[in-house]
């Protein structure tokens, strides 16, 4: 089940009298995205079986995975768990300057490097074996076109989202609803709620965790 973005806005609006509803909705969306970026509260995962034809040897033995095949309403932020055939690997993001860069120059034992060529793909480097199964879990943020959130997201993070939205709106200069002092109060509320969201994530209570099984991406 889902909750409309306007449900957040309905609770924020009385504190910013005179602010157009469309601006309140936009502030709410910005707040949801900011919380996801700060606390990684939405995670999604999937499996991908790698074929020998997937590996591009001229690009540091890389495998380019099409995230958009499975997840189209969110953009990836960071890898939070990566396994090859069940074995857990540390991961680090690396922005290589060209396809000819040598991954060995930055390689760390026990670590796989990845990059995001765009918002719909993730590329893993130094994949030198065939018939491997990837398990990829990533933190995501919704696109700015969202109109709803999952009910559990609303229940868990409503206070954080609404507090940050109030801070955005009250911090606007020269508006009828401007209130810098009150804005700082709500910013403090957001920081506290965001810290709690991080703790919940560390305890395994992330919202939006999904798992998709696939034998082929491309």
User: Per-residue pLDDT tens for 81-124?
Assistant: 999 999 999 999 987 666 556 667 666 777 888 999 888 899 99
Q: Residues 144-160: pLDDT tens digits? A: 999 999 999 999 999 99
177 vs 62: CA distance, rounded Å: 52
- Residues with Cβ within 8 Å of 119's Cβ and at least 6 positions away in sequence, in order, are 75, 76
210 vs 179: CA distance, rounded Å: 40
Q: Confidence band (pLDDT; 50, 70, 90) for 50?
A: confident
**Length of the chain measured in residues:** 218
3-state DSSP assignment of residue 122: strand
E strand or H helix at 111: strand 111-118
Give the pairing type, strands 43-50 and 211-212: parallel
**Beta bridge mates, 133:** 49
Please give the structure tokens belonging to residue 80: 């939070």
User: For 106-110, which contacts have Cβ atoms below 8 Å and span 24 or more sequence positions?
Assistant: none
- The mean of the pLDDT values for the chain is 88
Indicate the pTM of the whole model: 0.85
Mean pLDDT of 120-138: 86
φ/ψ region of 131 (left if φ > 0, alpha if ψ in -120 to 50, else beta) reads: left
Q: Are 91 and 112 in contact (CB under 8 A)?
A: yes
3-state DSSP assignment of residue 60: coil
205 vs 123: CA distance, rounded Å: 28
Q: Can you give the residue ranges of every domain in the chain?
A: 2-40+144-202, 43-142
pLDDT at 97: 64
């Amino acid at each position: 089940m889902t909750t409309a973005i306007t449900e957040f806005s309905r609770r924020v609006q009385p504190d910013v009298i005179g602010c157009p509803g469309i601006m309140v909705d936009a502030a709410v969306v910005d707040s949801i995205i900011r919380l996801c970026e700060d606390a990684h509260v939405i995670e999604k995962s999937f499996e991908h079986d790698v074929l020998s034809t997937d590996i591009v040897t001229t690009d540091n033995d890389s495998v380019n995975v099409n995230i958009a095949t499975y997840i189209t309403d969110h953009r990836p932020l960071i890898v939070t768990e990566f396994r090859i055939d069940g074995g857990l690997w540390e991961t680090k993001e690396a922005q290589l300057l060209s396809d000819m860069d040598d991954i060995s120059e930055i390689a760390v034992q026990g670590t796989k490097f990845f990059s995001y060529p765009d918002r719909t793909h993730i590329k893993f480097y130094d994949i030198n074996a065939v018939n491997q199964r990837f398990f990829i879990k990533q933190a995501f943020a919704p696109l700015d076109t969202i109109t709803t959130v999952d009910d559990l997201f609303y229940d868990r993070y409503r206070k954080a989202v609404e507090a940050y939205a109030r801070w955005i709106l009250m911090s606007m200069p020269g508006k009828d609803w401007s209130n810098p002092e009150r804005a700082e109060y709500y910013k403090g509320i957001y920081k506290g709620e965001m810290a709690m969201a991080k703790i919940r994530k560390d305890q395994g209570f992330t919202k939006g965790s999904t798992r998709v099984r696939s034998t082929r991406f491309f």
